[in-house]
Structure 1
Amino acid sequence: MQWRVLASTASNSHDWGDEVVLFNYQSGATHLLDRAAGQILDQLTTSPGDAKSVATKMADLWHVEIDDDLVRYVRDVLISLHALVLIERV
């Protein structure tokens, strides 16, 4: 399953060190994300992808090995971002 950032989300974020704050024009809500979720969202802004492809890019960024736990973590974050109406399935 491929994911991409909604157009209303793409340019409305501010990095605060360990957290990312963003305003969602579609829902009218402001969200506070942890750094990892913000980086995953940034990656999807660059290019849509599935959990495995995003996990591979995050492994490179975070200097960790890709494994099933990382893919599951990324999948969970993607589901959470979707629930917040920040990303959509492609």
Structure 2
Amino acid sequence: MTTQLATITIQNLKCHGCANTIAAQLSKLEAVSDVKVDNETNSVSFNYNDETAYKAAIDKLSSLGYPVAGENNAFHTKAKSLVSCAIGRMNT
């Protein structure tokens, strides 16, 4: 099975804590690998095996409070990102 590379611009990425949470959580997904978070460009890159894995990664980002740029970024989504950020800071 061949892997594909995705690079996605996300919202609410603020710091290294956010990056740690994103990398840790996406790396747990089956068929997702080589997760890299770039705070300077607000982007996440990862390899995935199929569209199901890609959608799972997008859904996971959103559930953590980091939706794809241009998607709804409601207050509760921003609040989720603050919690995810704090968890990432504690786990460094």
TM-score over 0.5 (shorter chain): no
Per the normalisation by structure 1, the TM-score is 0.37
What TM-score does the superposition give when structure 2 sets the normalisation length? 0.37
